[in-house]
Amino acid sequence: MSATRADWVEACNSEFLAQRVHNFSALEVADVGRRAGDRELQAPTLDLLENAIMLIDVLQYIRDEGVRSPVLINSWYRDEEYNKKIGGVPWSMHLTCGAADIVKVGYTPSQVADMLEAHPLADKLGIGRYNTFTHVDIRGWLGREAPARW
């Protein structure tokens, strides 16, 4: 029995409040219950929240670099079935809550990737450059091989 949308929002936002996360919220991590084709997106297990909070440190850095502006989330957590459906790799960092595909308002994806390269701990990050967004993940903090670039 997986968490409902309301359960997820309550658990995630109370953790974010405790950790002083102000600029990101539960439904950005996982839009639980949204229909995607023939099924609804599932909530992550709550043990993955600490990965989300580590990633938020990096997202907050991107928000504050250059001209401070919102970081929009295209995709953050993916449950296993959804990840499979959209052709994600089985070891995708999106399954861990430790990866997001992002756009920073006012900046190109390539500028965002360059900002990530300038992060003090860039050697622990995965950074993927795409035409319309930038992928970032915290693989080095989760014991996976790092850095990764594509």
Binding site for Zn ion (CB under 5 A): 101, 135
- The least distance separating Zn ion from the CB of residue 135, rounded to whole angstroms, comes to 3
- The least distance separating Zn ion from the CB of residue 129, rounded to whole angstroms, comes to 11
Is residue 103 within 8 A of residue 136, CB to CB? The reply is no
State which residue, 31 or 101, has the beta carbon closest to Zn ion. Answer: 101
State which residue, 104 or 135, has the beta carbon closest to Zn ion. Answer: 135
- The least distance separating Zn ion from the CB of residue 101, rounded to whole angstroms, comes to 4
- The least distance separating Zn ion from the CB of residue 97, rounded to whole angstroms, comes to 12
Distances (CA, A) of 67 to 63, 141, 150: 8, 28, 26
Based on its alpha-carbon atoms, the radius of gyration of the chain, rounded to whole angstroms, reads 15
Contacts of 79 (CB under 8 A, 6+ apart): 41, 42, 43, 44, 95
Contacts of 48 (CB under 8 A, 6+ apart): 77, 96, 97, 98
State which residue, 11 or 142, has the beta carbon closest to Zn ion. Answer: 142
State which residue, 79 or 101, has the beta carbon closest to Zn ion. Answer: 101
- Name the closest residue to Zn ion (Cβ): 135
